[in-house]
Amino acid sequence: MTQKRLFSRYLKDLPDGRLRWIGLRPGHKQEMLSVESTQAIARLGLEGDHRCLKTPDSGRQVTIISTEFIRTIETYSGLPHIDPSLLRRNLVVSGINLNALRHQQFCIGDALFEATALCHPCVRMDQTLGRGGAAAMLGYGGLCAKVLESGEIRIGDLVRGVVQG
């Protein structure tokens, strides 16, 4: 059984989540800009993010993490609060099990996404969060996704899995 089929069996029972934060990087290694809304562009990514100008159809057009994962990273890193921009993920969601969305399609606002892979932490997290920062994120780095259908996304939008077939 493929992972896609394995995870798809959980979608019908998965509660909806909410989009809590949107961050865009205008250029490589530049600081994240927090915005209230943006356009998700099919095959490219998020308008205003430097990845949108890169390879079309990349599996890493958008990165997503949950507030629940951030709280776990705070616990493991010993930090009382981590600003989402420090983790360099584009979207922060809450109330939905991100791991159940692996290899699945999901909607945020008017856009359709597909989760492609786990988003592993890089060694720069040790610089950002302090020694052990990357280790604190292992298993909690979130997901990479691609945009299948364009649409506007806004803070507060529902995040819901799409049951196929």
Residues 26-47 pLDDT 10s: 988 889 999 999 999 999 999 9
Question: Which pTM does this prediction carry?
Answer: 0.94
DSSP H helical segments within the chain, as ranges? 3-8, 67-77, 124-129, 133-137
pLDDT for res 73: 98
pLDDT at 6 over 90: no
- From 3.30.300.30, 2.40.70.10, 1.20.1080.10, 2.40.33.20, which CATH number describes the 3-160 domain? 2.40.33.20
Domain ranges of the chain: 3-160
Give whichever of 20-29, 81-90, 119-128 has the largest mean pLDDT.
81-90
Residues 125-164 pLDDT 10s: 999 999 999 999 999 999 999 999 999 999 999 999 998 8
Rounded to an integer, the average pLDDT of 97-101 is 91
